[in-house]
Amino acid sequence: MDLSSPLWYFSYVLVLTGLAGFGFHRLCIVYLYLRHSRKKPQPKEIFQDLPLVTIQLPVFNEMHVVDRLLDSVAKLDYPKDKLQIQVLDDSTDETTAICQAGVERLQGQGFDAEMIHRVDRTGYKAGALENGTRFAKGELLFILDADFVPNPDVLQKTVHYFSDEKIGMIQTRWGHLNRTYNVLTRIQAMFLDGHLELEQTARNRSGRFFTFNGTAGIWRKSCIADAGGWEHDTLTEDMDLSYRAQLKGWRFIFLNDVETPAELPVDMDGFKSQQHRWTKGSIQVCKKVLPAIWKAKVPLYIKMEATAHLTSNFAYLMLICLCFLIYPNQKAAPDFGAWTTYIVNIPIFFFASVSVVVFYITAQKALRPNCWWKELPYLPLLLALGIGMSVSNAKAVIEAIFNHQTAFVRTPKYGIDQKPKADWKKSSYKAMKTLTPVVELLFAFFFLFVVVEAAMQGRVSSAILLLPFPVGFFYTSLSSMARMLPSGRVPSDSTAENTKES
């Protein structure tokens, strides 16, 4: 194929323009956050008689963390006679025995606690929640995944918002128990901070739709029922239910000043499986609910934001296309004069790349005002990891587009905040293995060649701008392959200092 064909260049510009569009949306989120973040919600009134809350704990093979979860629930600052604790266990290993012992321990402390064990995992997490809700005594349902450790005052800070009968769900902001464990957890924390602090706050306080994050939130039971209940046809049942409920007129509140800590995946395979599930699920929800959103009688700005949100993961397909278009463009981009640089290249670069940096710096400055600059060295790695994840996540997008069904794959968690670093490597819990790391490694070597060739030809700026590509692909591929070694060794970043979070 003739690499000098203008078709390559126009395809390259078209893909970059699409990525720039998603980058422009990030800047819109930053603008909405800066404009509306000070509009802190207030409860309509304070309950004189606290409502009954059912705490739902969906569990599947979580033997390393379930005791920690139950102990933290027992420390909640809320009257015992106003709590019901449901352990919704679908486990197939010793987790079930640990859950049963934990429930008996809670019962001995005077809690209304029960374990609901399913042998048939129909619907996975959504099915477990649907089944548990049938036996829930409380109108308010506080959902916590097994790797979360709620602060004792979380219910006192949240339930009073339900004094407004139009409120259907309250979401708290995730914290990170092991933020400084290794380089991967630091980058993940930055990713999540951007989503939770900026996106959720901006959407909620500007009057747009936002979604339940699957855990660390409280639902009104009648809201779930009115929206049609938990459904099993997507991998992100939380996002699906959220849009259906808001289309019914229910209001949600995001409390960015109420933090609920959780454990981040410490290995690349676990992170990939989590991101694959979230990415695929979001596209499934996009196909399912986007037509209903555009038919709904809601303002245009709500429809546009929901569209940007639900289609955002298509950016991974664009990124993969870009990987195939970069080299032909480097070899024989047509010369259309100086206007190309100033009217095309610079604006596209700004919206596609600089916007990402602005987005994550804004999030860190908001959450860590006295030490946000300490996260700056990790920004290049964040960009590189986003590129490196494009193979796995693009695969998830394609699977969703073509309705390829896969099981709900849990993300292994190891309770690493309480154990020595080496312990988790010996765990029987492993993420699913795929051929994705091999493809990533091929991309890594290809882009290493592209970068070296650009540098040798004196195109230093191009070499620097393309450097995140080989770095990202080498990082994601080798980190996964290292777990396959008989020694169980992990990448060097897992030996990073476990410093105390600033």
Region at 489 (left for phi over 0; alpha for psi -120 to 50; beta for the rest): beta
E strands, 119-196, where? 140-143, 167-176
Alpha-helical regions (H) of 312-389: 315-332, 339, 346-349, 355-367, 379-388
> Are the C-beta atoms of residues 48 and 91 closer than 8 Å to each other?
no
Rounded to whole angstroms, the Cα distance separating 180 from 328 reads: 40
Rounded to whole angstroms, the Cα distance separating 310 from 301 reads: 14
Q: Is 238 a catalytic residue?
A: yes
Q: Which residues pair with 259 in a beta bridge?
A: 173
DSSP type of residue 345: I
For the record, the structure tokens of 101 come out as: 């012992």
Q: Which CATH number fits domain 48-312: 3.30.70.360, 3.90.550.10, 3.40.50.720, 3.40.50.300?
A: 3.90.550.10
Alpha-carbon Rg for the chain in angstroms: 23
DSSP type of residue 169: E
Q: Given this model, what pLDDT does residue 417 score? A: 67
Rounded mean pLDDT of the chain? 89
Encode pLDDT of 446-460 as tens digits: 999 999 998 998 888
Neighbours of 115 (CB within 10 A): 19
Residue 23 reports pLDDT greater than 70: yes
Range with the lowest mean pLDDT among 64-68, 181-185, 438-442, 496-500? 496-500
How many residues are listed for the chain in this entry? Answer: 502
User: Which comes out higher in pLDDT, residue 343 or 224?
Assistant: 224
Encode pLDDT of 377-421 as tens digits: 999 999 999 999 999 999 999 999 999 887 777 777 778 764 545
Q: Which residues pair with 167 in a beta bridge?
A: 251
In terms of C-beta density within 10 A (0-12 exposed, 13-18 middle, 19 or more buried), how is residue 349 classed? middle
Neighbours of 168 (CB within 10 A): 27
In terms of C-beta density within 10 A (0-12 exposed, 13-18 middle, 19 or more buried), how is residue 402 classed? exposed
Q: Which residues pair with 160 in a beta bridge?
A: none
Q: Three-state SS across 254-267?
A: EEEEEEEEECCCCC
Tell me the domain boundaries of the chain. Answer: 48-312
The catalytically annotated residue of 145, 193, 238, 267 is: 238
The catalytically annotated residue of 90, 240, 269, 493 is: 90
Q: Is 493 a catalytic residue?
A: no
Q: What is the mean pLDDT of residues 149-154?
A: 98
Encode pLDDT of 243-301 as tens digits: 999 999 999 999 999 999 999 999 999 999 999 999 999 999 999 999 999 999 999 99
Angle at 187 between CA 269 and CA 205, to 5 degrees: 115
Torsion of CA 223, 225, 226, 228, to 10 degrees: 120
Closest among 196, 152, 157 to 43, alpha carbons compared: 157
pTM of the model: 0.91
Residue 441 reports pLDDT greater than 80: yes
> Are the C-beta atoms of residues 355 and 23 closer than 8 Å to each other?
yes
